[in-house]
Structure 1
Amino acid sequence: MKAKAGIACTIGLSAVLAACGEADQTEETAEQDEGNGEETETIDVYTTLFALEDFANRIGGDAVNVTNIVPVGADAHSFEPTAQTMIDIAESDMFLYNGAGMEGFADAVEDTLQGEDVKVAKAVEGINLIDYDHDHDHDDEHGHDDHGHEEDEHEHDDEHGHDHHAHEEDEHAHDDEHGHDDHAHEEDEDHSHDDHGHSHDHGDEDPHVWLDPVLSIEMAENIKEALVEVNPEESETFENNFEELQQELETLHEEFEAMVEAADKDTFIVSHAGYGYWEQRYGLNQLGISGLSPTNEPSQKQLEEIIQYAEDHDIEYVMFEQNITPQVAEVVQDEVGAEALRLHNLEALVEEDEENEEDYFSLMRRNIENLETALQ
């Protein structure tokens, strides 16, 4: 849709290029004739996560051309775009990113786009994000029992929706400036891992909003509004496609609720703590071996607590993600004698997903099936 800069040609090649241009124009005209003589302008969108890519394709339909800058199998937490990728984004119509500190390179992209005619759309805009709880103390007093635990152990904080199940206030004390927990482990074991730099540290807000089907409706609406702003002539199409997507997300939410209601347990062990929105929405408890970012490795004490909790509560599975395989999670699996199950974080596809033509809903339903197994 956006006009691109032309390539300078030498005099010797001008006649050849002109002939090719005439042929291309004829072919394009024929294609337009086949489509009743109407040409649909395509919005070039660059995005950062598979879930956003899928939502944008569903809402935009034939009116969008969506490119995910994070390669298949890569980890969005640590990805850094190349200079050529930055140029490609600057020549596009829209840069769609998650926000909430998920993409450490987002600020650099926005700086690059200053003065460019590119719509910058933040998918989590206006959404109430939950705070990430850095505390990995998995002692019994945290109320992580079987599914018959009392309702007050699932009570969530009114402001952040993430009061972890009747923890004592002093266990959740955060430093006013940094928001770190009072876990008492040494600075070199602290989950903040400042030396990893901005590209690996989410801060105190959990950015994994797309894993919540209900909040995904708000994300999808933000995407729809951004597309309408870029191409208002297609607003009716975008609106209709969004409404279909909303209905599918509502159905997925109901399926998730039904699975949790029928589960015997409410706690699962996973390679990294990216599933806080399931805790808030469905009353589940994640024991994340690594922190909010996979680079936030646990201390020895925290590892021992996770292993002890798994042994005390007969947890038989450790859930690994499709693009993240931290060795420390394999250590936990070996120590507990647990089986491996997959959770898909929907940040990025792997080659197997592409071959199977997976989408947001097929992957989320696979998550529901595997959670059902882990919680039995």
Structure 2
Amino acid sequence: MASYMNIYKGWKAVLLLLAAVLLLAGCGSGNNENKIVAGKVNVVTSFYPLYEFAKEIGGEEAHVINLMPVGVEPHDWTPRSQEILNTSKAQLFLYNGAGLEGWLDSFLKGLGSDSKVKTVEVSQGITLIASGEEDGHQHGAGNDDHHDEDGQVHAEDEHNHDHGHIDPHTWVSPKSAMIMAENIKNSFIEVDPVHREQYEDRYEQLHARLQQLDAKFTEELAKTSRKEIVVSHQSFGYLCRDYGLTQHSIMGLTPEAEPKAQDLIHLSKLVKEEGIQYIFFEELVSDKLVNTLASEAGVKTLVLNPVEGLTKQQEQAGENYFTLMEKNLQNLVLALQ
């Protein structure tokens, strides 16, 4: 009996050792994706849409590292020291700007004066949307009541990282995404002019897809009889501006900007008065307030994705910017018909 017990314990120890080795191997292979690779243009991106566009334009000449982990909402995240170190060794660091990355200033200082990395604010050239409300709440944030003075701020003139003043969600509109893709292409050419032709060819393919998406949004949303949407947080200002819609948000520019009781009462009244049938929520943000408002107003809920990042399920299913934006359009058409 004792010998059987010894054999059992021996096999148990072997299995535990094998499991540990496999776990370490898995961790090692995953971490290699976030390490600098010799012989390629190493690009670090601050969050998902930039990562996707940079991979498409960079192709085999580039190694692209995304700082933002899968399933994480970018408003909640800050980089660690290892991520700063990796970025300092890269050739390109692409960030959105317009106030999205609240950690940006300290991150750039942490790169060190000896770092050769080129930093690029990808929202440069987009006419930014200014929020006139100090606390970040805005419940008519699609068109006229969203702007200061002429309602527009140019990205090259705006370096304020305060969400309460500038709407950072530029990429949610295909029109803005086209400008961002061009900025990424230009940054690749600047750091690696030898492969200019390859970058331009791949950019043209991406640009054509974005143009098709833009045309589809323009055509489909022009047919809708309704133009008002209620969303969980104020992520869709650029989409609304470019396609003739108005958003009313439960929360402000960040999901942490909790609404006041009178905000919810106002929205519930608006939903009933306008005959709105759906309230939109997003996967990376709690849907508790959305469900509360929907229940109070007697309406249904639908997903409207700001494409700030993928969930693990979406990544496994092969979803991307284009598939998520196509689903957004389908849900908008359904809600606005």
Would the TM-score normalized by the shorter structure come out above 0.5? yes
For the 8 Å contact 1:58–1:245, the answer to whether it is kept is: yes
1:85 to 78, 83, 86: 83
Shift of 1:137: 5.6
Superimposed CA distance per residue, residues 151-206 of structure 1 (whole angstroms, 9 cap, x where no aligned partner): x98998883359xxxxxxxxxxxxxxxxxxxxxxxxxxxxxxxxxxx98x414111
For the 8 Å contact 1:154–1:283, the answer to whether it is kept is: no
Q: How does 1:232-271 map to 2 (within 5 A)?
A: 232-271=193-232
Whichever residue aligns with residue 131 of structure 1, its letter is A
Inter-partner Cα distance in structure 2 for 1:288 and 1:156: 16
For the 8 Å contact 1:49–1:346, the answer to whether it is kept is: no
Whichever residue aligns with residue 124 of structure 2, its letter is E
1:288 to 236, 244, 249: 249
Q: How does 1:172-211 map to 2 (within 5 A)?
A: 201-211=162-172
Distance 1:68 1:155, change over 3 A: closer
Inter-partner Cα distance in structure 2 for 1:155 and 1:122: 23
Partner of residue 130, structure 2? 131
TM-score relative to the length of structure 2: 0.80
Partner of residue 309, structure 1? 270
Partner of residue 117, structure 1? 116
Shift of 1:133: 4.8
Distance 1:224 1:317, change over 3 A: same
Q: Secondary structure at the match of 1:96?
A: strand
Partner of residue 297, structure 2? 336
For the 8 Å contact 1:322–1:345, the answer to whether it is kept is: no
Unpaired runs of 5+ residues, structure 1, are 1-39, 145-151, 163-197
Alignment of 1:297 onto 2:297: no
Q: Secondary structure at the match of 2:232?
A: strand
How many percent identity over aligned positions? 33
Inter-partner Cα distance in structure 2 for 1:261 and 1:328: 30
Partner of residue 36, structure 1? none
Superimposed CA distance per residue, residues 61-111 of structure 1 (whole angstroms, 9 cap, x where no aligned partner): 111111211111111112011111111212222211100110111111211
For the 8 Å contact 2:131–2:148, the answer to whether it is kept is: no
Distance 1:304 1:64, change over 3 A: same
Q: How does 1:52-91 map to 2 (within 5 A)?
A: 52-91=50-89
Whichever residue aligns with residue 264 of structure 1, its letter is S
Inter-partner Cα distance in structure 1 for 2:150 and 2:175: 18
Unpaired runs of 5+ residues, structure 2, are 1-37, 154-159
Inter-partner Cα distance in structure 2 for 1:287 and 1:358: 27
Distance 1:158 1:137, change over 3 A: closer
Superimposed CA distance per residue, residues 239-263 of structure 1 (whole angstroms, 9 cap, x where no aligned partner): 1111111111111111001111111
Following TM superposition, the consecutive aligned residue runs of length 4 or more in structure 1 with deviations greater than 3 angstroms are: 133-138, 152-159
1:215 to 166, 176, 179: 176
Inter-partner Cα distance in structure 1 for 2:225 and 2:317: 31
For the 8 Å contact 1:294–1:326, the answer to whether it is kept is: no
For the 8 Å contact 1:73–1:351, the answer to whether it is kept is: yes
For the 8 Å contact 1:321–1:345, the answer to whether it is kept is: yes
Inter-partner Cα distance in structure 2 for 1:161 and 1:252: 24
Q: Secondary structure at the match of 1:291?
A: coil
Whichever residue aligns with residue 119 of structure 1, its letter is K
Whichever residue aligns with residue 86 of structure 2, its letter is D
Q: Secondary structure at the match of 2:129?
A: coil
For the 8 Å contact 2:85–2:111, the answer to whether it is kept is: no
Shift of 1:114: 3.4
Partner of residue 279, structure 1? 240
Inter-partner Cα distance in structure 2 for 1:261 and 1:375: 10
Whichever residue aligns with residue 84 of structure 1, its letter is Q
Alignment of 1:49 onto 2:40: no
Shift of 1:341: 0.8
Distance 1:341 1:326, change over 3 A: closer
Distance 1:247 1:154, change over 3 A: farther
Q: How many pairs align?
A: 290
Partner of residue 371, structure 1? 332
